[in-house]
Amino acid sequence: MKELSKKVLEGDIRAASRLIRNLEDQIPNTYIAMQEIFGKTGNAHVVGITGAPGAGKSTLTDELICAYRKKGDTVGVLAVDPTSPFSGGALLGDRIRMLRHAEDTGVFIRSLATRGAMGGISKAVGEAIHVMDVLKKSKIIVETVGVGQQEVDIINHAHTVAVVLVPGMGDEIQALKAGLMEIADIFIINKADRDGAGKLYKETLNMVNMSKDNKNGAQGWRIPVLLVESVLEPIKFAESVEALRDKIDEHYQYLIDNDLLSERMRRKTTAELNEALWGTILQPILKDLHADGEINRLVDKLLTKASDPYSLAAEVASKYMK
């Protein structure tokens, strides 16, 4: 593992890919490599892009890569794939994207999926960000489907969060229901040439104006609502994504200038610590129980009502805990 982290610190892309795969697969002792690189992390600007399925996040991220490359930034992309609790494997879209940027060593794209039923995707995301960080990517984009607690956990790893809305998808409902309002630093109205874009723009703006403060911790930051044109008009699309890029960077600069970045870093680091505690304390116990079939014996007891989950959990705890 120390060999692997050494190679990653030297900028070896294949080693970095292997390390990320190990994180995803929750290979034991991967933490040893992560311990080695942790001290070198914390330089990249981490940008979260989130929104409902079908909102066009992938295409947007793809263009944002180009916009950042134009400006001289290097880019890491982590696409968090919710397909995989069952099937595993990356989305076809990511494969295509990887091909498009395959020749560009300034771009590093990986998709991350959950394997197994024991959780830990948010932990893997936080750690994969560190890997991209030590690969000296200056911008790291984390793309998630933004609904549910899990996705909010993931977004805790970002400094700047952009929420993507599209017309015609019942967006008010989307925004309200998903609680996205409270995590957004920037709103994006995607496919802005579609019917209903103007209405959605106005509604979102109203919503932003009504909420006094971004509860996400960046006091005084005025959450902008940006219109991004459809890909059907490539030049306009590129221009509006460049405006988005500049707004994302403006937010980061705002955090720095107003001494707010430290607050974000604290949130981010707290999330990491919580996840490390899960990985160190609970995950090994779950692995033990699954490995020797003990879990089945316990579940049998519950199915026959010979015991209850709380008594069994206390029994397990007494074996491991002081």
Does 85 contact a copy of itself by CB under 8 A? Answer: yes
C-beta closer to a copy of itself: residue 243 or 316: 316
- Residue 76 or 279 with smaller CB distance to a copy of itself: 279
Nearest approach in angstroms of CB 226 to a copy of itself is 21
Q: Cite the DSSP H helix spans in 26-142.
A: 30-38, 57-70, 92-100, 121-134
Q: Work out the burial of residue 321: count CB atoms within 10 Å of its CB; fewer than 13 is exposed, 13-18 middle, 19 or more buried.
A: exposed
Total interface residues for a copy of itself by CB under 8 A: 83
Closest CB 195 distance from a copy of itself, rounded Å: 12
- Does 320 help bind a copy of itself (rule: CB under 8 A)? yes
Q: Does 169 bind a copy of itself (CB under 8 A)?
A: yes
Residues numbered 245 to 284 that lie near a copy of itself (CB under 8 A) are 262, 265-266, 269-282
As measured in angstroms, the least distance from the Cβ of 215 to a copy of itself is 6
d(CA 132, CA 15): 11
In whole angstroms, the minimum distance from the beta carbon of 162 to a copy of itself comes to 17
Other Cβ atoms closer than 10 A to 117 = 9
- Alpha carbon distance 250, 160 (integer Å): 10
Stretch of 200-208, 225-233, 239-247, 292-300 contacting a copy of itself, by CB under 8 A: 292-300
Q: In the complex with a copy of itself, which residue's Cβ is closer, 73 or 151?
A: 151
Quick one: tokens of 260?
A: 């707010």
Alpha-carbon dihedral of residues 269, 274, 279, 281, nearest 10 degrees? 140
Residue whose CB is less far from a copy of itself, 69 or 115: 115
Residue closer to a copy of itself, measured from CB, 1 or 243? 1
Q: Does 177 bind a copy of itself (CB under 8 A)?
A: yes
Q: Please provide the size of the chain in residues.
A: 322
> d(Cα 20, Cα 41) in Å, to the nearest integer?
15
Q: How far apart are CA 232 and CA 230, in angstroms?
A: 5
Contact window for a copy of itself (CB under 8 A) among 6-14, 98-106, 163-171, 242-250: 163-171
Among 114, 160, 204, 240, binds a copy of itself (CB under 8 A): 114
Quick one: tokens of 161?
């969060």
Rounded-to-integer distance, Cα 34 and Cα 36, Å:
5
**Pick from 121, 131, 192, 200: which binds a copy of itself (CB under 8 A)?**
121
**Between residues 66 and 152, which has the closer beta carbon with respect to a copy of itself?**
152
Residue closest to 186 by CA, chosen among 157, 221, 210: 221
Candidate list 147, 163, 197, 223; residue touching a copy of itself; CB under 8 A: 147
CA distances from 137 to 132, 202, 261, 266 (A): 6, 36, 19, 21
Q: Which of residues 3-32 bind a copy of itself (CB under 8 A)?
A: 31-32
Q: How far is CA 235 from CA 69, 232, 303, 311, in A?
A: 16, 9, 61, 63
The reply on whether position 99 binds a copy of itself by CB under 8 A is: no
Query: According to the binding rule CB under 8 A, does residue 161 interact with a copy of itself?
Result: no
179-208 residues near a copy of itself, rule: CB under 8 A: 179, 182-183
Candidates 67, 78, 65; CA nearest to 107 is 65
Tell whether residue 174 is a contact of a copy of itself (CB under 8 A): yes
